[in-house]
């Protein structure tokens, strides 16, 4: 059974996309413990030092996401990719607040590589989760909101089999129903890229995520690197 996949129309429009996907089971989430907080804060300082005065628009991975957004009609300075939004906050305000252990691990790897990392709680979702172009009839509730909205036709979304949208504008913002919370026990974690070094960076990011997850949240994992030749993560346990 597919857990996460790219629709063929997405791969035709964006043949360079590379995704890393991890299915995590029996994890133990909760508040981020002090020793992981220390790792997170150290990573934030390193990233700020590495970026220095470089405009975020000149970071290759973020620039590639800006091009992808423009490709489906979205202004990337109005709706920023999740990775750019995190780095923008970090470079302007000096820190990223803790949410919970799973989200903080995802954000740590996101700022390390300048790539969007999403953690989706699977309890309310019908698999597979598919990256595809919306037709406008899908349902979406923004994080922290209960009101239902709909994506624009042609917008790239993540949606489940019931047409429930779990992320809008590809990697702009995920839904209320899919947010990882302290009670999360099974989740899908994704990291994606469009730039020239995408395969290398996605591979490294997935390895880092698996190390952090194994060290701090436990559980079992199935993972894969996805591209135009291998567009889906299947439910075949590896660890």
Candidates 239, 160, 226, 178; CA nearest to 21 is 226
Q: Three-state SS for 147? A: coil
What is the pLDDT at residue 102?
A: 98
- The per-residue pLDDT for range 157-185, each reduced to its tens digit, is 999 999 999 999 999 999 988 999 999 99
Q: Which two tokens stand for residue 151?
A: 């994506």
Global pTM value: 0.95
- The per-residue pLDDT for range 2-57, each reduced to its tens digit, is 999 999 999 999 999 999 999 999 999 999 999 999 999 999 999 999 999 999 99
What are the Cα distances from residue 200, in Å, to 61, 127, 195, 207, 228? 12, 28, 10, 11, 16
- The per-residue pLDDT for range 80-136, each reduced to its tens digit, is 999 999 999 999 999 999 999 999 999 999 999 999 999 999 998 999 999 999 999
| All domains in the chain, ordered by first residue | 2-228 (3.50.40.10)
Q: Three-state SS for 164? A: strand
Asked if 187 and 102 touch (Cβ cutoff 8 Å), the reply is yes
CA dihedral sign, ordered 220, 207, 196, 94? positive
Distance CA 155, CA 133 (A): 5
């Amino acid at each position: 059974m597919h857990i996460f996949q790219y629709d063929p129309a997405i791969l035709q429009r964006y043949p360079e996309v590379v995704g890393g996907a991890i299915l995590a089971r029996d994890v133990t989430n909760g508040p981020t413990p002090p020793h992981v907080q220390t790792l997170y804060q150290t990573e934030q300082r390193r990233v700020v030092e590495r970026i220095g005065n470089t405009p975020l628009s000149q970071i290759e991975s973020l620039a590639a996401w800006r091009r992808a957004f423009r490709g489906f009609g979205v202004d990337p300075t109005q709706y920023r990719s999740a990775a750019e939004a995190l780095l923008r906050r970090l470079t302007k305000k000096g820190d990223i607040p803790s949410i919970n252990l799973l989200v903080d691990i995802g954000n740590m790897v996101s700022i390390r590589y300048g790539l969007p990392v999403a953690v989706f709680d699977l309890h309310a979702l019908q698999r597979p989760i598919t990256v595809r172009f919306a037709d406008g009839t899908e349902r979406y509730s923004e994080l922290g909101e209960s009101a239902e909205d709909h994506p624009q036709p042609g917008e790239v979304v993540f949606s489940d089999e019931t047409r429930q949208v779990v992320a809008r504008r590809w990697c702009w913002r995920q839904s209320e129903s899919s947010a990882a919370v302290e009670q999360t026990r099974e989740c899908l974690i994704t990291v994606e890229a469009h730039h020239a070094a995408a395969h290398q960076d996605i591979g490294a990011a997935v390895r880092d995520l698996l190390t952090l997850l194994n060290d701090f949240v436990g559980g079992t994992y199935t993972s894969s690197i996805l591209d135009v030749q291998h567009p889906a993560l299947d439910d075949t346990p590896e660890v």
